[in-house]
Structure 1
């Protein structure tokens, strides 16, 4: 069968990061003590926790056993996705690793959270007293955090990435290591979600750290095979970005 898209697209959310632990699933930091470990560290430099590195290693074993090698491995270029990819690829012998090209891709970076990136809940409410009403009005897909991106903005660049995959990697096996918000945009585009479906993850539907989502190429496009399969047993974080 001739493909006009990848034959296999495997999406992996990055492993547990230091910021996941510090924020504990909240939009903002609970207080100054909670943010001290990561305060002042830009999003692209946030690293994995020790448990996160173990998650990546265990996930690599599951991915290699199930899918074998890939033609290309894409990361967002952020430290936590690059470290996750490195952990996954450690499951492969050197000869297999050398055959897979690893590339950073700016289009699949996480959503820019804007000016409130390092704020506590109290600081954000004081700085942007109108924000909660605005968010409720426009919803979690269309609303932009102050100085940041909406998920609709992120979907625009994910769309460009998918166009590039179709043009450059038809019939190939592609592994993508990215972020929770970006994964929602992949699903919005690949599965034809409505705006209302994309507003928020359904109850219990947010991707786990190192959750693996698989799309197989068919004659009509990329079709979801399974979502958020977890191969690791150490650690437990599923929150944050």
Structure 2
């Protein structure tokens, strides 16, 4: 099967849930205090500007480097990011539920402190099983998300061979695409998750090396935001999921 020419994934811009989660974690609250279901969380004003800045970066790419197609998570924060970033372009856009965020089940809406207080047995089980395989009741493990991404990658390679494909999604997907595309091991992937937080509207990309393999170009890059007049969310302000 022919390889993609380029694959990008852009995390959505800062959302109102990111802001609420950062505040709740800092103050030691148990609940993030969400007012929307996860699929309907909107962008914050900063997130909207990050998305527009990403659009200005995309518009500045040479024609032979611009995406041929975009595939977007159906969650509002990703859809809004894609709409703002791709405004005025003719890039075909489709939504794919396999790009949705990881589902946290009974832990949805909880801070780390809230998980430990309300579900101490689950917190203990997560430590015992490990982050990669732990599945919260009613939710997904990282391996569950990897399975759906694996099928998506197969479809992209079949339907868009030799093309430049742009994805809009969520932080866990960025890590897991590295796992799948680069053939990382569980320890290598988990080390990555400890070393960095995926920034809002950051760009990660892979390109065909000429031998039918995708190789990493850039990871978690935010320089385009500063270049286009938008301030990236500081790493210590980006909420990372508790599990």
Structure 1 residues 12-39: Cα deviation after superposition (integer angstroms, max 9, x where no partner): 011100111111187899427x634x23
Q: Which deviates the most, 114-123 or 193-202? A: 114-123
* SS of alignment partner, residue 46 of structure 2: helix
Correspondence 1:83 to 2:74: no
Correspondence 1:44 to 2:42: no
| TM-score, length basis structure 2 | 0.86
Structure 1 residues 35, 239: CA separation in 2 closer, same or farther (over 3 Å shift)?
closer
- What stretches of structure 1 move > 6 A for 4+ residues in a row? 25-29
Check the 8 A contact 1:25/1:240 in 2, yes or no.
no
Structure 1 residues 18-65: Cα deviation after superposition (integer angstroms, max 9, x where no partner): 111111187899427x634x23x1111001000000001111212332
The match for 1:153 is: 144
Equivalent of residue 212 in structure 1, options 183, 196, 203: 203
How many residue pairs are counted as aligned between the two chains?
A: 230
Structure 1: stretches of 5+ with no match in the other structure: none
The match for 2:93 is: 102
Check the 8 A contact 2:69/2:93 in 1, yes or no.
yes
Structure 1 residues 137-186: Cα deviation after superposition (integer angstroms, max 9, x where no partner): 12111111221101111000000000001110001111100000111111
Check the 8 A contact 1:23/1:29 in 2, yes or no.
no
Structure 1 residues 204, 178: CA separation in 2 closer, same or farther (over 3 Å shift)?
same
* SS of alignment partner, residue 192 of structure 2: coil
The match for 1:195 is: 186
Structure 2: stretches of 5+ with no match in the other structure: none
Equivalent of residue 10 in structure 2, options 12, 20, 24: 12
The separation in 1 between residues aligned to 2:206 and 2:114, in whole angstroms, is: 41
The match for 2:124 is: 133
The match for 1:64 is: 59
Equivalent of residue 172 in structure 1, options 145, 163, 170: 163
Structure 1 residues 105-128: Cα deviation after superposition (integer angstroms, max 9, x where no partner): 111111101112123556533442
Correspondence 1:223 to 2:215: yes
The match for 1:24 is: 22
Kindly state the Cα deviation for residue 130 of structure 1 after the two structures are TM-superposed: 1.0
Check the 8 A contact 1:52/1:235 in 2, yes or no.
no
* SS of alignment partner, residue 93 of structure 2: strand
| TM-score, length basis structure 1 | 0.86
